[in-house]
Amino acid sequence: MLAVNGLNAGYGSFQALFDVSLSVGAGESIAVIGPNGAGKTTLLRAISRLIDASSGELTMEGRRYNELPAHQVVSLGIAQVPEGRRLFPRLSVEDNLKMGAFTPAARAGYRERLDFVYSLFPKMKQRRMQLAGTMSGGEQQMCAIGRALMSRPKLLLLDEPSAGLAPVIVQSIFELMQRIRAEGYTVLIVEQNIRQVLQVVDRAYLLETGRIRMSGAADELLASDEIRKAYLGL
């Protein structure tokens, strides 16, 4: 579905990604793991076209979209839940969800999508008139994921969904990941919480200082010596 080929990207003269290649097949759930500052967020920003790649190729369902303006990427079927959730704090939950359905194609099915998101997160329905900024971190994460789902994406990008949340909430966020997977969504998730994320994805890529160091099935990575020593402290 999504293919990234030989991607180089960065900010100004600072290069954050070096020759990164990865692919996400339809129905797969993929994680990009790695330490802080490895370039994981930059990778998602490049895929969403929030930053320009200096070289390399982005392809979605066979269509190369390297030059597409960022606001048209949603229409390809790619929705991102950004790092730190980034809800509109002074808009209600429902208005935040409405923003997720901004594209003309998504507007047509707004009611139906809203019902779907509310069935996935009944708590959001209870809080629909509440200002998003007044909710707890876990609730905000649900709202942010719901907002991304409103555009009826084919591919969901999740940037550090567990960051800044209490351990109990982190657990529930990963349970949520599994439910979203069960709904048939294709997911690309970026996480530092390596042990937990490897339990909910099919395959994973290890990104270190802007380069892909390892890739493979999630259980293989979980069992590999390198990951166990460097990241799981075993």
Partner 1 sequence: MEFFDIFLLEAVINGLLLGGLLALLALGLNLVFGVIDVVWICYAELIMVGMYTIWWLHAEQGVPLWLAFACGIALAAVLGALLHQFIVRPVLAAEPINQLLVTGGVLFFLQAAATVLFGVEFRNIGVRLPGVSIGEVNLSVARLIAFGVALAAIVSTYLFLTRTYIGTAIRAISQDRAIMPLMGVDSSRIYLLTSALGGALAGLAACLLVLQYDIHPAIGLSFGPITFLICVLGGLGNLIGGFLAAFVFAQFISVGGFVFHLEWGYVLAFMFFIVMMFWKPQGLFARRR
Closest CA to 22 of 220, 211, 148: 211
Determine the straight-line distance between the first and last CA of the chain, rounded to whole angstroms. Answer: 35
Asked if 82 interacts with partner 1 (CB under 8 A), we say yes
Per-residue binding string, partner 1, 144-183, x by CB under 8 A, is ---x---x--------------------------------
- By beta-carbon proximity to partner 1, the closer residue of 142 and 194 is 142
SS3 percent helix, strand, coil of the chain, rounded to 5, is 40, 30, 30
Among 12, 13, 63, 69, binds partner 1 (CB under 8 A): 69
Closest CA to 192 of 227, 224, 225, 223: 227
Among 40, 49, 113, 203, binds partner 1 (CB under 8 A): 49
Asked if 86 interacts with partner 1 (CB under 8 A), we say yes
Asked if 77 interacts with partner 1 (CB under 8 A), we say no
- By beta-carbon proximity to partner 1, the closer residue of 44 and 212 is 44
Please tell me what DSSP assigns to residue 74.
G
Exposed e or buried b per residue across 187-213, where buried means at least 16 C-beta atoms within 10 angstroms of its C-beta: bbbbbebbeebbebbbbbbbbeebebe
Phi, psi of 177 (to 5 degrees): -55, -40
Asked if 98 interacts with partner 1 (CB under 8 A), we say yes
Query: In the bound complex, what is the minimum distance in angstroms from residue 44's beta carbon to partner 1?
Result: 10
Asked if 120 interacts with partner 1 (CB under 8 A), we say no
Cβ proximity of 146 and 115 under 8 Å: no
Question: What residues make contact with partner 1 under the rule CB under 8 A?
Answer: 48-50, 69-75, 79-80, 82, 86, 88-91, 95, 98-103, 106-107, 147, 151
